[in-house]
Amino acid sequence: MQVLITGGAGFIGSHLAEALLARGDAVAILDDLSTGAFHNIAHLVQHPRFHFAIDSVHNSLVLDRLASQADAIVHLAAAVGVQLVVERPTETIETNVLGTHQVLAAARRYRCRTLIASTSEVYGKSEDLPFREDGDLVLGPSSRSRWGYAASKLLDEFLGLAAYREYELPVTIVRFFNTVGPRQTGRYGMVVPRFVRQALRGEPLTVYGDGEQSRCFCHVLDVVRALVALLDRPEVTSGEIYNIGSDQEVTINELARRVVQRTGSDSPIHHIPYSQAYAPGFEDMRRRVPDIAKIRAAIGWQPTCSLDQILDDVLAYERERLGTEEEGGG
């Protein structure tokens, strides 16, 4: 199979590219490096079945050329991270919605199997836990920019499912829940790499709010297994939405304590208000837990990595990265 990954130089995309190449597929990547990084894929450049283009999905000529050679497209290119969403809401909405429109148009031209990445953010403030794919979605007011991200990804879902219904394009939607692991950047607010880097540097771990909000963290390698299996089962999964994530909850306070413990750091844990971390009036969800029964029934998938394993893998990566920075005088 020939697979095009948009956003393929990013955290999830680079791991997916490795997995597909390892099993014999050909992989092309389209990424403008706005949130991805070339060093994530540099080790793949000489692979005979790997190709890349440093450009945006908004460049229709480049996207069309790559799609014309693909059997499947995994659309991961998007504005990512709460901090980016709050600071640059216009870019967030335009990147997500217009980018997905372009990808689906190219997929239709060449009948490409298509996976579209969505997010647990679309569940918004729903308190109907665990979140089911067919559950109601409860977003906050449009005056709060964080909900623009959820709305843009929800529109991506509508576009993908409309292409399936109107044009019989084999489209599957995946909703990611707090995917973590090596190569994830803390630049846009991702909590695990941020905590690990703070601990390694002996800095205070900054917890937003009271820290009793809970999340479920899933290793990127488990997520990649799910994506590959979904790609292989269009006859079962097309026209469907699937949660991908762990269903094991941990509070952010407990996460911070675990990071301090596993790094052996003396870093204190400091709490700061959301208004200081993001913006006045910022809203957050207390719990975010996926129901993964649907994907388990469809393809037999469930996560295998524990939180401690995830933290150890991130820790090993960040220690190496920190050492490289120190050697280079960075």
Q: How far is CA 67 from the centre of its chain?
A: 22
Task: Report which residue type is found at 219.
Answer: H
Q: Is 136 exposed, middle or buried (0-12, 13-18, 19+ CB in 10 A)?
A: exposed
311 token code pair: 């933290």
Helix (H, G, I), strand (E, B) or coil at 210: coil
Residue whose token pair is 């919605």? 97
Q: Does 130 sit behind a cis peptide bond, omega within 30 degrees of 0 on the bond before it? A: yes
Burial of 209 by CB count in 10 Å (0-12 exposed, 13-18 middle, 19+ buried)?
Answer: middle
Q: Which of 123, 149, 208, 278 is catalytic?
A: 149
Q: Which residues of 5-40 are buried (b: 16+ CB within 10 A; e: fewer)?
A: bbbbbbbbbbbbbbbbbeeebbbbbbbbeebbbeeb
- Cα–Cα distance, 168 to 239 (Å, whole number): 9
Task: Check if 149 is active-site.
Answer: yes
CA end-to-end distance (rounded Å), the chain:
41
Segment holding 21, helix H or strand E: helix 11-22
Dist. CA 256–CA 264, nearest whole Å: 12
- So which residues are the catalytic ones? 149
